[in-house]
Amino acid sequence: MNYITTKDSEKGNAIQLAYQDFGEGQPIVFIHGWPLSQKMWEYQIPYFVNEGYRVITYDRRGFGHSDQPWKGYNYNQFASDLKQVLESLDLKRVLLVGFSMGGGEVARYLGNFGSERVEKAVLISSIAPFMMQTEDNSDGVEESVFDGMKEGIAKDRADFFSGFGRNFVAIDQHQERVSEAQVQLNWNVAMSASRKATLDCVDAFGKTDLRKDCESITIPCLILHGDDDAIVPFEVSGKKAHQLIKNADLKVIEGAPHGLTFTHHKEVNEALLNFFKK
């Protein structure tokens, strides 16, 4: 495992982000979802390396093999971390892909720092542009839902993620596409994350308004979502992102749940490759 030392520190110790870097060619940077790690890209890494791309994945602070500080679990910090990843590796013409919570990093990075290093962006099952219900976002998710998630995690994190992990891939509907062993592996990955990060990130992905960030995106963008996503419903997120992002392409995968990178990885990989080559 490789590490990037960020400019951010806690108690005098710099925060390190774990990353992997495979292949040669135009770089693709994959940003994982909550509460997983870069391990979630198992079906994408070999596929795109074999297609001639350089593939970089990294663990968000607090998750996977990255450091687990007490603070810094907000989208401005996550975007700054992403910036340091791109700059440390001197990546250019980047194909930037964010899954679920990772879609927020893509949007906030482009909103805060622009697209000088990024050629195209992809939001997969993304929480962008804004999940929470407010007066001007009336069909969003009630704040009590996110507060309830935090209560469940605080009470019994292991049990919460047991149920969440099954819903993540809708295993009862997709037993022919994903195994119980994969669900257990995802649970193990989720439980390796910082408890504090896991809790704080619920507020980040649930309550952060990314609408202005989405409106600022001018580079080619693909919105990729399943129409059977019970975690981040398409009507609340992907549909709105498509409306806000100028000239964005939209690809809805029929019958796919939230965790479509596992259940529908062939369809996901094909959609990404078509967009990259477009």
Active site residues: 100, 229, 258
CA 194 to chain centre: 17
Q: Cα–Cα distance between 229 and 260 in angstroms, integer?
A: 9
Tally the residues of the chain.
Answer: 278
> Given the structure tokens 């819903």, which residue do they identify?
167
Beta bridge partners of 9: 14
Q: Cα–Cα distance between 204 and 151 in angstroms, integer?
A: 16
Helices (H), the chain: 45-50, 75-88, 101-113, 143-155, 157-169, 180-191, 195-207, 211-215, 238-244, 260-263, 265-277
- In terms of C-beta density within 10 A (0-12 exposed, 13-18 middle, 19 or more buried), how is residue 124 classed? buried
CB distance 173 to 47 below 8 Å: no
CB distance 238 to 212 below 8 Å: no
